[in-house]
Amino acid sequence: MNATVEWGDEPLRWQDVARVARGKAILTLSDSVWSRLAQGREIVALIVASGHVAYGVNTGLGALCNISLPEEQLSQLSRNTLLSHACGVGPLLDEAQTRAIMCAAIANYSHGKSGISPAIVEQLLAFLNQQITPQVPSQGSVGYLSHMAHIGLALMGVGDVGWQGAVVPAEQALAEAGLKPISPGAKEGLSLVNGTPCMTGLACLALDDAQRLLDWADVTGAMSFEALRGQIVAFDEEILALKASPGIQHSGARLRRLLADSALLAESVGVRTQDALSLRSMPQVHGACRDQFSHARQQVETELNACTDNPLVLGTPENWRVVSQANPHGESVAMACDVLAIAMAELGSMSERRLDRLVNPLVSGLPAFLVAKPGVNSGMMIAQYVAASLCGENKQLAQPAVLDNFVTSALQEDHLSLGTGSALKLHRLLGNLYHIIGIEYLLAAQALHFHGENKLAPGTRQSLALLRETVAPWEDDRWLAPEIGKAVNVLKHHQPGF
């Protein structure tokens, strides 16, 4: 039975988005959320009945904000908003990405400030919990709008969805799941496309991958360090304490635990005065990446707990306000994703430099390209090429997206965060990083094979044993691509023990 996550009365965490989106945990909302939703929807009804002119409630959208609409056209406005905004292009988001966006949308609505009806939020929850996944094109957002519009259409029974292992018309999935298409009323079309759920949901998944990769980089780095007979004094606790960085202290402590009681390192003391920076500066570089992760996490969780709609309805049915403002601007999440992309690219760059040393007999003291019979065998030679290629691509993906800008909606929206693009390129970068770290894992394990397991630290021996469950040591060349895939699979499905 799937675990259950309840939202509504405590601060929301990115881990819960990942649990629902990837782990298929059941999402529920507290009674207080349903009360807030009902109150917000009542305020929208009062706005419409009063004739008070409010952007997006009874006016056109964007540059059409000064066109007032009669009450009888407001439902049509909402439906048309979804149809006109659902114009994404390119490859589809994967299932977890779409589910994460829906989670972040529900988080936004749960404050009751969007004025969206409880029935629409119930439909979103049903989609999540019954695993009905709208087919959403990945490209076409300058920060918001298009992705959620495709999701909104699916709630109406328009478009295609993933359902029970197949892609089917949304109308069919709704009928088979016992659901009815929604009919959005005043403001609801705008609420469904507005805000920052897209970039925020995607950023939560990126944090999930980044945290796992940070932990694994310490592990594969420790394995490479031991295989290359590093000088462990560089990780001295007193030395690292002289830099007051939580990330440095954390990575340094993990490396010391992973390498504790290594007979190989004990007998290697003094074989060189100091190691290359890719080895001895692991606490400093991995730690800096961890510090940037902490900053990104704070920014993303702030947004996850925010009201990001426009307009927002405030107060009570007896004393309400409706305010047009700019909370849908996703600058902080865009910056967080850009900064995290730089940090993760650096993590990969360090890994590639370490694995390059493993295959180079001039510095490794090991057989060339980590194969016992070089010449007839090329061993791990080209695996390093692959890692270098992925690092090169990651340098391109680490270029900030938030610094770019365009003008949309006839000058009405003349500064854009491009946060969804930032989050998506971060996802691509992290996908590359899984392969870079996976290649280091494979190569470091092969290098340690030449030293003999009895000399290894318990920590690295444990990590080696985990890989050896699916990947055997090399004696002669064999098809390498599937073995890289197996190493990546270990990274994705196991948490490091240290």
Give the per-residue pLDDT at 63: 64
Close Cβ partners of 48 (under 8 Å, ≥ 6 residues apart): 57, 58, 71, 74, 186
How high does pLDDT run on average in the chain?
A: 94
Q: Average of pLDDT values for 214-222?
A: 98
- pLDDT, average across residues 356-369: 93
Query: Measuring CA to CA, which residue among 121, 140, 132 is closest to residue 177?
Result: 132
pLDDT digits (tens, 9 = 90+) for 161-186: 999 999 999 999 999 999 999 999 99
pLDDT in tens, 278-336: 999 999 999 999 999 999 999 999 999 999 999 999 999 999 999 999 999 999 999 99
Average pLDDT over residues 373-392: 92
Check: CB of residue 341 under 8 Å from CB of residue 280: no
Q: Over range 364-369, report the average pLDDT.
A: 92
DSSP H or E segment with residue 7: strand 4-7
Helix, strand, or coil (residue 80):
helix
Backbone Cα Rg of the chain:
26
The reported pLDDT for the residue numbered 52 is 87
Q: Which residues of 203-214 are buried (b: 16+ CB within 10 A; e: fewer)?
A: bbbbbbbbbbbb
Using the Cα atoms of residue 391, residue 394, residue 398 and residue 404 in order, give the sign of their dihedral.
Answer: positive
**Longest C-alpha distance within the chain, in Å?**
85
pTM of the predicted protein model: 0.95
Q: Is the pLDDT of residue 191 over 80?
A: yes
pLDDT for 413 equals 75
**Domains plus CATH for the chain?**
4-194 (1.10.275.10), 203-493 (1.20.200.10)
Could you read off the pLDDT of 108-141 as tens digits, one per residue? 999 999 999 999 999 999 999 999 999 999 998 8
List active site positions: 55
pLDDT tens-digit readout, 36-57: 999 999 999 999 988 888 888 8
- The answer on pLDDT for 498 being more than 80 is no
Task: Determine what percent of the chain is predicted with pLDDT higher than 90.
Answer: 83
